[in-house]
Structure 1
Amino acid sequence: MKRLQLHRWSSSVLSPRARTGSRVQQHLHSGVRHQSTASPLQSEASSQEEPFLEEAPVDEGLARHIRSIRFKRPEIQYPSPPVEAARSSAKLAALHARLYLPSRLPLETLARTLVDASADPNPHFNNESLVTLGHDLLTYYTSEHLLCTYPRLPLAVIFSSMYAYAGPKSLAAMAKEWGVEAATLPGGRLTQFRRIDPGAEVPGSAEKREPRQQMGRKIFYDNEYGDAPSGPVDRNAGVSAEQASSDFVRAVMGAIYLHAGRPAAKRFFEQHFLSRQLNISSLFSFSQPARDLNRLCARENFEQPVAKIISETGRRSRSPVFVIGIFSGQDKLGEGAGSSLFEGRERAAVAALKGWYLYSPLSVRVPSSMEEEGAAPWKPVHVDLGEVIV
């Protein structure tokens, strides 16, 4: 009978603490760093035990430094997994291939994008700097796409479109679609962060701030989504799963820009963000569409709009239908159907306003296209006078 090779399966019967201790690799910031693949709960349970020190061929000065930290400050623990562990992670490699990331983006950086600042406060190992860069890139690419594709959009619709494309809820849903789960367990393809306590107030939330009603004040004082900016976030108190997941997507965008350059970042944005369908016409909300249409025609020197009945049926029945058209001279601006003449006129006015605001040029060029090699000379894009009613 062949003897069993215990070293191949013995790790599956060990206790969680024993299995974790066998994988611990401690490294310092200058060269090697003390890091653990154990979960925060396991780390707290074993904080009283002597940390494991892997034998490595290091010089005597570095070994003394390791021993000094090991015995003088045993409470120091780094929740981030070792940097070298990213190369042997099959889940990271699968995530890299699934997102079709450029080959110049190493797995070590991809693993760093999963580490939130609430889990590891060291800026050299968390994704805080990558999040800042990725947020600026997403905001720039999204805003130039909206302003150049739909130059007549009202400001409120632009804010809503920005939030739909690159808002925290959309980014968190995108991270979930990518197969990245949010958990406090480090390593693999899990977003590592310190979860906020249930029922606690989200740090830096703007719920207590009174929203501004005037759009002009939103431009100068609010963020890119038209929301009041939140204060500094205390990462030590923890973050929500939505915030950690959205920061991961921003960090991936920043990492691609740093390692693969602007063309790869722009291609990643087009494939994963602009490819999503957004029905911008559903974001409009008019309180008095007939009045807005009258003022628009007066500003553009059009003839005053006139509502006319195109067709009707069942006027004396319980469910009549009236098809109303809005005409400016011989041109029909919009058409709508309703159960009354007033409802049909309002819907026709809304259709006319949407036809004006949703205008899009035939050939759209964005300013970032001038950074490409061999780009054609720049032609100014259409700049509209803006919305009529603010």
Structure 2
Amino acid sequence: YSTQRNLNELESALNYRFRNIDLLQDALTHKSYMSDPRHGRQSNNERLEFLGDTVLGLVIAEHLMSAHPDYPEGTLSKFKGRIVSEPSLAEISRLLDIGSYLRVGKGEELTQGREKSSILADALEAVIAAIYLDGGLEAARRFILTHFKKAVETTVSVASILDYKTDLQEYCQRELEILPQYEIVAQRGPDHQKEFDVQVLIRGRSYGEGSGRSKKEAEQKAAQAALARLARTTRDL
């Protein structure tokens, strides 16, 4: 499995050369591998996974804050949660073919442990930690922003995964102890092709407007606009 030649191949896929290749080997060693006494006392990837989870979260959070200054904390948190979720990590791990390089025990080998999303996601986090320890935060950041680029773009561009009305309601209840109100300000077109203009009111003042083919769509867009405004300032509330 993880021979020196194989590790060099993986380094090429990762686009990173390790100064201490043992770090990469540890990142690829599942705890089940240690259950075989023939393998002696070696490190597994659990501690690296713990560190990698933190490094990944930091880099993604920092990137989202910088790239989207108008989005409130609740929205950024949802973005981050999806980007660093197990399915997202496992998909990137599969693209890098990390499973082929893993050292796993006989039991995991028999049950296709190399294909398990949980094991692949944990291994990727461990690899991120290995890069961080070997090359520092900038090296880890380059790796993460390169290989998570698609996940970030997909998450941020698919607005349908977000419920802006819920985000706005939670914000208003938490910070202002009130509920936002929505009202239709205009509607156009025939019954089968109507378009609605909606505004959202907070303490009687309009904080966002949105248009859509349904009231629900227009309300979501109005809530999104209000959240962007609230992210900039709440001093005039």
TM-score, length of structure 2 as denominator length? 0.71
Which residue does the alignment assign to 1:153? 72
Q: For the residues of structure 1 that align with 2:164 and 2:207, how far apart are their CA atoms?
A: 22
Structure that is richer in helix per residue: 2
Whether the 8 Å CA contact 2:208–2:225 is kept in 1: the answer is: no
Give the RMSD, CA atoms, in angstroms: 3.8
**Aligned positions of 1:198-237 closer than 5 A:** none
Aligned partners of 1:259 and 1:131: how far apart in 2? 15
Does 2:224 match 1:349? Answer: no
The SS at the match of 2:213 is strand
1:164 equivalent in alignment to 2:97 = no
- Gap change, CA 1:268 and 1:240, over 3 Å in 2: closer
1:243, CA displacement in angstroms?
Answer: 1.8
Equivalent in 93, 110, 129 of residue 8 of structure 2: 93
> Is 1:309 aligned to residue 224 of structure 2?
no
Pair 1:262-2:175 in alignment: no
Asked whether the 8 Å contact 2:208–2:223 carries over to 1, the reply is: no
Amino acid at match of 2:142: R
- The residue type paired with residue 97 of structure 1 is S
Distance 1:279 1:115, change over 3 A: closer
Aligned to 1:112: 26
Q: Does 1:133 align with 2:51?
A: yes
Secondary structure class of the residue paired with 2:33: coil
Whether the aligned pair in 2 keeps the contact of 1:191 and 1:248 (CA below 8 Å) is no
Could you tell me whether the CA contact under 8 Å between 2:11 and 2:18 is conserved in 1? no
CA distance in 1, matches of 2:26, 2:206: 62
Tell me the equivalent position of 2:162: 284
Kindly provide the CA deviation profile for residues 194-242 of structure 1, in whole angstroms up to 9, marking residues without a partner as x. 42997xxxxxxxxxxxxxxxxxxxxxxxxxxxxxxxxxxxxxxx99822
How far off is 1:305 after superposition?
Answer: 6.0
The match for 2:209 is 333
CA distance in 2, matches of 1:125, 1:105: 18
Is the 2:164–2:223 contact (alpha carbons within 8 Å) kept by the matching residues of 1?
A: no
CA displacement at 1:120 relative to structure 2 = 1.4
Fraction of identical pairs, as percent: 19
> Aligned AA for 2:21?
L
C-alpha distance in structure 1 between counterparts of 2:207 and 2:225, whole Å: 13
Q: Structure 2, unaligned stretches of length 5 or more?
A: none
* Matched AA of 1:176: R
Q: Deviations over 1:254-295 (max 9, x none)?
A: 111111112111111211124532344222236789x95xx7
Does structure 1 conserve the Cα–Cα contact (< 8 Å) formed by 2:31 and 2:45? yes
Distance 1:123 1:138 in 2: 28
TM-score (norm 1): 0.46
Residue 384 and residue 195 in structure 1: after superposition, are their counterparts in 2 closer, same or farther (change >3 A)? Answer: farther
Give the drift of 1:109.
2.6
Contiguous gaps of at least 5 residues in structure 1: 1-36, 38-80, 183-188, 199-237, 339-343, 361-381, 386-390
Structure 1 or 2, whichever has the larger Rg, is 1
